[in-house]
Structure 1
Amino acid sequence: MSAPAMTPTTTRVAARGQDVTKIYGSGDTAVTALDGVTVDFGTGTFTAIMGPSGSGKSTLMHCLAGLDTPTGGRITIGDIEMTGLRDRDLTTVRRDRIGFVFQSFNLLPTLTARQNVLLPLDLAGRRADAERFGTLVDSLGLSDRLDHRPSELSGGQQQRVAIARALITGPEVVFADEPTGALDSRTAATLLGYLQHSCRELGQTIVMVTHDPIAASYADRALLLSDGRITDAIADPDTDAVLAAMKRLEA
């Protein structure tokens, strides 16, 4: 059994994993990436998931987000159980209920910033709410870059476009995989500050995988994984507390 994951006290759970296992391979070559992880992510919380290489942190995020299929256990996003959904239904949930932010931005190079932001709505056949779109791009400082293609934007601007794309649908939860890994420290701090703002002021739920203790300090909670299990949970983490916890894991 994994250690308690310090479930936040909220009125609603945005994402939940119950006794989640993930095993790659079989027989003598089987590798257990997740070993019975149970964790809740309350609505409007910002959680950092950390751990050494091979700890299972990215696997956990991919299973929670419906990008990978767990070997056992249950995953729910809001009131929808992901486990056992058909591929078509899973795609719909990912498109409509989940936002994604990746280290590599994953913007389509032939589309403008505006088109990249609106892409999830276009794929769903939904019209953008003009007020929501305007507020979102204004708050991210993108209003004067909307007609530029990714190659004409800086790394920080591209990541801001990716964040706007993740938020435009009003998702149940945003999963961010090393979102500041390709950015300089100043740009990273700006983006992390915005993620923190979207959580505290807008009620957005964010789950972020990171190896960076400074990035984790922006979260409400840091979960530490080792050998596929949650081994520690830090409320209101600061950089020193995260570093100390990481050192304990390495020891």
Structure 2
Amino acid sequence: MTATATTTRTAARVADAVKVHGAGDTAVRALDGVTLGFPAGRFTAIMGPSGSGKSTLLHCAAGLDTLTSGSAHIGDTELGALDDRRLTLLRRDRIGFVFQAFNLVPTLTVAENVRLPLDLAGRRGDPDWIDALIDVVGLRDRLHHRPSELSGGQQQRVAVARAFAGRPDVVFADEPTGNLDSRSGGEVLGLLGRAARETARAVVMVTHDPVAAAHADEVVFLADGRLVDRMAAPTADRVLDRMKAFEVPS
């Protein structure tokens, strides 16, 4: 799983991305000309104040929402050029998702939950890849347990393994530690970074938490729908200081 983690391939990107909600005097420009790439083998965090456009960026980059203008790509595929069916297939086959809610099926075991997207797609998947994933997320001794028998942190580990099971180009995570205590959250964030590097996949996370962002390889900052800063090798203190600069004095 570690052979190609040093690649500089861009797994996902947006170019001149504009998203406008509403029309006329009530129009809101949620994204205002954002150009950004997410490299394979890297863990990128997106931060910004409330209303900065970070969730809109994630949704448009993942094909869950459409841009008003500009383009979004997964690899070399432009999402705006796909009809609904092809877009659905692309999201199924080339994108993984991790959400704040674990979204596990309570009647299925850990092993069955990890395989669920592949089973729904009628795909066998790569047994060696899935077996290695189980070790990456540390769930070898929990494969036959159901979600109710797991802690919140363990359930989110299952969700992470499920997101990577189909060998997607990119995994998008939306506040993935929002329902976890700090210790479990730290473990899941460390896991996301390790999974990105060891599987040579891009991981893109939206978060409001400087401590969570510090686990990423890079943090990108949005404000008023625009890309305003980037920070490599972030620390929680540096991220917090940057976020304070967005605060408007009362």
TM band (smaller chain): over 0.9
The answer as to 2:206 corresponding to 1:201 is no
Matches within 5 A, 1:161-180: 161-180=158-177
| RMSD of aligned Cα (Å) | 1.5
Aligned to 2:141: 144
Mapped partners of 1:110, 1:93: distance in 2: 27
Mapped partners of 2:214, 2:118: distance in 1: 32
Mapped partners of 1:246, 1:142: distance in 2: 35
Q: Which amino acid aligns with 2:150?
A: L
The answer as to 2:108 corresponding to 1:111 is yes
Could you tell which deviates more after superposition, 168-177 or 192-201?
192-201
Matches within 5 A, 1:1-251: 11-251=8-248
Mapped partners of 2:121, 2:171: distance in 1: 18
User: TM-score normalised to the size of structure 1?
Assistant: 0.92
Q: Which amino acid aligns with 2:121?
A: A
Q: Which amino acid aligns with 1:58?
A: S
Q: Which amino acid aligns with 1:204?
A: R
- Measured after TM superposition, the shift of residue 130 of structure 1 is 2.2
Identity of aligned residues (%): 63
Aligned to 1:6: none
User: TM-score normalised to the size of structure 2?
Assistant: 0.93
Mapped partners of 1:87, 1:23: distance in 2: 21
Runs of 4+, deviation exceeding 6 Å: none
Give the unaligned 5+ runs of structure 1.
Answer: 1-8
Q: Which amino acid aligns with 2:156?
A: Q
Give the unaligned 5+ runs of structure 2.
Answer: 1-5
Q: How many residue pairs align between the two structures?
A: 243
- Measured after TM superposition, the shift of residue 10 of structure 1 is 5.9
Mapped partners of 2:215, 2:140: distance in 1: 26
Q: Closer, same or farther in 2 for the Cα pair 1:143/1:11, shift >3 Å?
A: closer
Q: Which amino acid aligns with 1:146?
A: L
